[in-house]
Chains A and B, each alone.
Chain A
Amino acid sequence: MTGLSWRRLAALLRKEWIQVFRDAMTLRIIIAIPIMQLFLFGYAINTDPKNLPTGLLTTDHTKYERTIVAALKNSGYYNVTPLATEAEANEGLADGDLLFVIEIPPGFDRAVDRGESPAILVDADATDPTAIGNATAALASLTADIQRDLPPIRRAQPQTPPFQFVVHARYNPEQLTVLNIVPGLICIVLTFSTLFVTTLSITRERERGTMENLLAMPVRPVEVMIAKITPYLTIGYIQVGLILIASVLFFQLPIRGSIPLLLAALGLFIGGNLALGVLFSTVSANQMQATQFAQFTLLPSFLLSGFMFPFRGMPLWAQWAGEVFPTTHAMRIVRGMLLKGNGWTEIAPDLWPLALFTLGAIGLAVWFYRETLD
């Protein structure tokens, strides 16, 4: 009586399978939403913004000024407007009206002509590093472009550049890499779509009145849990497939690591979320409560997993809190495997916490599962 029974488990699985796949509407939503989110987030988080508002500060209008401004505009990243005072420049940066202030120092012309290679100061608002990353990177090639437009005397001395751009990243000197976002997004989208589906599983049985019947029958709690999770694991894999294909096709994401290992790791991640959903469902009195539990989990998964902010930049307590969420570990695994080509040894430190989390969630769900109506 106390042992598990494969026949009972098979019966429960069959039942859950039919119920999940017969509900066509929910199924369509489950498949469509992650793809929609990927595109929404993927395009909303523009990694290569152009036409950024730029202020130009000059004391004396130089003969090279026009050439430099034209080159900046032609790069597509800078939308240059002249400024009158330095106070205006500071205010513009602080308010967010300007992302860049380009300052050409006094006596610039003479310094260029003498071959002193003077500096042009570029003040950048680095609060959103991804926003300015490509624009600042483009400056280097601008120097070469401008050199072509210089008078022959200056062109004859290619060993010393006519001038230099000195970028001063204000507010946030550390900058993020751009490819971080889509791999992180994969984990966030999966957290979204998998956590909620099982969150409703047990409360639904309770609210429809079928729980009383299920309890009256000789089924074991673990059997119920496994049966609730398995159909959605399949759906989770369909989502993973679609998301990876879409990421490669539309966001040019590289997959440098082993695909089977990546799928195995993601399976564990999905399993963890589904188990957490079942746990929420078990401890909740109704579907509303269960949904709220899931929502409370989503926000920290967003904020503390390293998706929104660089993980290393967070305060220590936030990093510790972040370690609790499966999304954090999945994000490291996925980023590492896609971008760095990480393998088994590199992802192991994040794989076992995922496994532990999944087992823990199922264990707790079984522990909280009441076999009577008390």
Chain B
Amino acid sequence: MNDRVIDVRNLRKSFGARKVVEGLSLQVEQGQICGFLGANGSGKTTTIRMLCGLLVPDAGEGQCIGFDIIRQAPLIRRHVGYMTQKFSFYEDLTVFENLDFVASVYEMRNRRAAVDDIMVRMGLADRRNQLAGELSGGWKQRLALAACVLHQPKLLLLDEPTAGVDAKARREFWDLIHDMAGEGLTVLVSTHYMDEAERCNRIVYLANGRIVVEGGADQVARQSGLITFEATGQGIDNAARALRRMSGVEAAAVFGHALHVAGTERESLERAIRSFANLEWREVEPRLEDVFIHMLSVKEAAP
């Protein structure tokens, strides 16, 4: 019980008439990297803000790092590292000044040493005196991460941390996240990238303020009940266009040299692909991306 860093039940939040989070329950264990997925506006950011005490839930209960999320919000803030979606440190302060500010606000002992350590660890030491506003996206993101973990939080809440950052920087960022998780830090991270979702221990998929699926990446794919066929050969682009209009086909998309066709009813799907016998077909594991697109379309169809 005690190793549950996040344990909340039936969280609800609306802004005016718009219900953003509708009865969300979530448990995350210590050292876990939990991926938060879902379309824009599905309630990811609102949930994260409720978890760190920046928004007061309309209803629901639970605890976060052992503190009650309603009554002890200020205590949660002190032990959580929260990285906002938009860069939210001071662009007119240097890297060092930003980190020094954060360290002082958290009243850290050995402030200078802690700031120096984190700069070395994040590779920011060379940019110590550069203004944050002059950093590129990847470096800004590193600075933000450094500032969020500086006070040694028990839980890291990252809201789309890698949006607009190049592939190499993203890879390095995730390596850092895994290192820290290995040291016992719990991470809840929202993302739109499927490769990042695959690097999470657990995925939580949100739609309209509710959890639709959760589990490991393979579990989620299996739970979706999605069947996927892959084809290679001449004319896959034309085949994709034709297949998209056929019944039983939910998605048909070309990835490189291969065409992926996905659906939930095996019979009608097989009937559809039989019209393209000139292509070479084989059944494959559904891609996470197909799964999520599938879930989005299901959600749209159901009221």
Contacts and interface: CB of A to CB of B under 8 A. Distances in A.
B212 interface: no
B116 interface: no
Given A22-B92, A213-B89, A216-B82, A14 B104 contact: yes
A209 B55 contact: no
B54 A19 contact: no
A98 to B, nearest CB: 59
Contacts of B82: 213, 216
Nearest to A2: B74
Given A8-B107, A18-B97, A215-B54, A209 B90 contact: no
What band does the interface of chain A fall in when counting residues whose beta carbon is under 8 Å from B?
Answer: 20 to 34
A363 B246 CA distance: 67
Contacts of B91: 208
Nearest to A216: B82
A217 B151 CA distance: 10
B90 A373 contact: no
A209 B101 contact: no
Contacts of A215: 54
A22 B134 CA distance: 14
A14 B96 CA distance: 13
Nearest to A12: B105
B107 A5 contact: yes
Contacts of B53: 372
A303 B123 CA distance: 59
Contact of B55 (A11, A210, A213, A374): A374
Given A208-B91, A209-B88, A212-B88, A8 B54 contact: no
Most A CB atoms within 10 A — which of B49, B52, B90, B91? B90
B239 interface: no
Contacts of A299: none
A156 interface: no
Interface in A173-229: 208-213, 215-219
Contacts of B55: 372-374
Interface string A311-346: 000000000000000000000000000000000000
A96 B60 CA distance: 74
B45 to A, nearest CB: 10
- Judged by DSSP, the binding face of A is helix
B56 A372 contact: yes
Contacts of A10: 104
A217 to B, nearest CB: 5
A137 interface: no
A95 interface: no
Nearest to B54: A373
A19 to B, nearest CB: 5
A110 interface: no
B82 to A, nearest CB: 5
Interface residues of B, number: 30
A166 B54 CA distance: 76
A153 to B, nearest CB: 84
Contacts of A66: none
A372 B56 CA distance: 7
A8 B77 CA distance: 15
Contacts of B222: none
Nearest to B72: A1
Contact of A15 (B56, B87, B101): B101
Interface string B74-116: 1101101010101111111100010011101111000000000
A209 B107 contact: no
A218 B93 contact: no
B78 A218 contact: yes
Contacts of B92: 18-19, 22-23
A210 B101 CA distance: 13
Contacts of B49: 373
A63 interface: no
Given A22-B92, A210-B89, A216-B82, A374 B56 contact: yes
A7 interface: yes
Given A19-B90, A373-B55, A8 B74 contact: no
A209 B105 contact: no
B106 A218 contact: yes
A22 B87 CA distance: 20
B101 A11 contact: yes
A10 B108 CA distance: 13
A19 B74 CA distance: 27
Interface of B: 49, 52-56, 73-75, 77-78, 80, 82, 84, 86-93, 97, 100-102, 104-107
Top 6 A-B residue pairs of the complex, sorted by shortest distance between their CB atoms:
A11-B104, A213-B88, A209-B86, A216-B82, A209-B88, A15-B101
27 contacts: A10-B104, A11-B100, A11-B101, A11-B104, A11-B105, A19-B93, A22-B92, A208-B91, A209-B84, A210-B88, A210-B89, A211-B88, A212-B54, A212-B84, A212-B88, A213-B82, A213-B89, A215-B54, A216-B77, A216-B80, A216-B82, A217-B77, A219-B105, A372-B53, A372-B55, A373-B55, A374-B56
